[in-house]
Amino acid sequence: MICGSKTKSYLKSQNLKILGQGKLNGIVEISGAKNSALVLLASSLLTNEKIILENVPFLTDIEKMGNILKNLGVNLVRKNNQLEIDPTTISIKELPYELVKGLRASFFCIGALLTKFGEAQVPLPGGCNIGSRPIDEHINGLIALGADIIIEEGIVKAKTRGNKNRLHGTHIKLNCPSVGATETLIMAASLAKGRTTIENAAREPEVQDLCQMLNKMGAKIYDSGKETIIIDGVNKLGGCTHKVIPDRIEAGTFLIAAAATSSSITISPVIPHHLEAVTNKLQESGSKVTIKGNSISIKSKEIKGVDIETAPFPGFPTDLQAPFTTLMTIANGESKITETIFENRMNHIYLLNEMGARIKLNKNVAHIKGVKTIKGMNLVGSDLRSSAALIIAGIIAKGSSKIYGLEHLDRGYENFELKLKKLGIKITREVSKSTFEKNEYKIKTKSEKFSKLEAA
C-alpha cells in the first residue's frame, strides 16, 4: 500500500527504495545553502555588473530561480557549482505565473525590481504546502518605503509613489521576524534614499549571508544578525564574487540521521554556531558531538526522549522539526515536539504512526512515546522536509521502504541518496514507467483522532 495525500495531481515516476536498519559511517560533504542561494540570485537584480556566486547547489528550486532570472533577460552561465550572473541585459520587470507558481522565493524579486526600476509585477508565491505564509509583512514594508501596491487577479503590482523613481528610507517594525520579508525589505532599502531601520528583523544565517554579499556590492547595511538592522541607501551597487554559506538544514538532517541509526559520521564544511540549537538537542538526547574547525562529528548509541519547540533563529529550526520527530519515534521514554512556525507542518505524523510510531497529535503539539522499532512501508512525502524525515524513517525501519514524492526532496537536498549511499546506506532511486494518481492512495485512518489529518 502507498500512503499519501488526497489530491488530483500525479506522483513523479521516481522513488527511493531503502533497505532499513542501516548504519552510517564516513564523511559528508555539505552543499551550499538552498535558502541562501535563492535570495542571493534575486539580489543580483540590484546591480548592472556581473555577480559570481560560488558553492551553488544543484537543486530544482535553484533551476527555477535561474529560469525566472533568464526570463527577465539575465544571462546565466553555470560552471559546476559556480554561477556567473550578468544582469546588464534585463528587459522585463514582470514575472510570469507559470515560472513562479511553485517557488515561494520568487517573490523576493519584487524588492529588487521595485527599488531598481521603480515598478514590478510579481504573482503571489507558491512552494510547499506547509501552512499559511502571508506576504503582508512584505507588502506593508514596501508601502512604508514609498510604494503604491495593488493586488489584482493574483498579481502584486508595485510602483514607487507619485513621480518619484526611488523609494525612501523609513522605520519598519515587523509583526513577526519573517525571513522572507526581512530579505525583501533589505534589498528594497539598499537602493532607497536615506536610512531604513528594520525592527524585529529575522536573524537567520541566510539573512546575514545576504547582507554580507550586498555589502560586498557596495551597500551600507549594519547589524545583520541582530533584531534591528540599519540600511543606509546608496545610489548604485556593483558586482562581486561571493560564496554561498553551507546548508545548515542539510547538515542537521545528516546529524539527525546518524543519531537515529546509532552511527558515527563527520559533516563538513559547516558553520558550527549555525547549528547550535540542533547539536545541543542531539547532545541532550544522548549523542556525543565534537566540533573541530568547520566540521562536526557525531557518535550515537542509545537515544532518550527530549522536548523541542521550533523558533526563529537562534532557536530550533522548523525545517528540522520533521527529521527530529522521526528520531524521537525510537527514543527511550517520551518527548514533546511543538511546531510554532507553520500550522500545517505536522503532516509526517500520521505516516510515522503507520510505520508503528506512537504519536498523539494535539493541534501542533506531538506527544511521542518511543518504540523499539518501526516497520518499512511505501510512503509519499508531502513537502520537502517531511520527505527527508520519511527517508530517515525508512533507514531505521525494519524491512524495506519506498519513498515517493521526490519532486519535493529534489527541491532542497543535493545528491541526497548518493551521499547516503556513500555512507553505507542501501538506497536506490528507481524510475517507474507508470504514474499513480494520488487520490487512489488516500491514507486509511486507524483512529478517529487522526481521521482529519492528511499529508497534503
Residues tagged in the binding site annotation for UDP-N-acetyl-alpha-D-glucosamine:
104, 319, 341
What is the residue type of 269?
P
Question: 3-class DSSP state for residue 235?
Answer: coil
C-alpha cell at 204: 537567520
Task: Report yes or no: 203 and 225 within 8 Å, Cβ to Cβ.
Answer: yes
Any bridge partners for residue 54, and if so which?
A: 243
In tens, the pLDDT along 155-198 reads 889 999 876 789 999 999 999 999 999 999 999 999 999 999 99
pLDDT at 206: 98
Query: DSSP of 98-135, one letter per residue?
Result: HHHTT-GGGGGHHHHHHHHHSEEEEEPP----SS----
* Other beta carbons within 10 Å of 404: 27
H or E stretch covering 388: helix 384-396
Residues tagged in the binding site annotation for phosphoenolpyruvate:
34-35
Q: Which residues are catalytic?
A: 128
| H helical segments located in 34-124 | 34-43, 60-72, 97-100, 109-117
What letter would DSSP give residue 345? T
What letter would DSSP give residue 200? T
Any bridge partners for residue 51, and if so which?
A: 85, 240
pLDDT at 241: 98
Vertex 204: Cα angle to 198 and 205 (nearest 5)? 120
In tens, the pLDDT along 123-166 reads 886 544 434 446 889 999 999 999 999 988 888 899 998 767 89
Task: Report yes or no: 417 and 427 within 8 Å, Cβ to Cβ.
Answer: yes
pLDDT at 405: 86
Chain position carrying cell 529560469 = 67
In tens, the pLDDT along 84-101 reads 999 998 877 778 777 777
pLDDT at 453: 32
Question: How far apart (Å, rounded) are the C-alpha atoms in residues 422 and 436?
Answer: 30
pLDDT at 445: 32
Strands 147-152 and 155-160: antiparallel
In tens, the pLDDT along 308-345 reads 999 999 999 999 999 999 999 999 999 999 999 877 77
In the chain the first and final C-alpha atoms are separated, in Å, by: 18
Contacts of 272 (CB under 8 A, 6+ apart): 279, 291, 294, 296
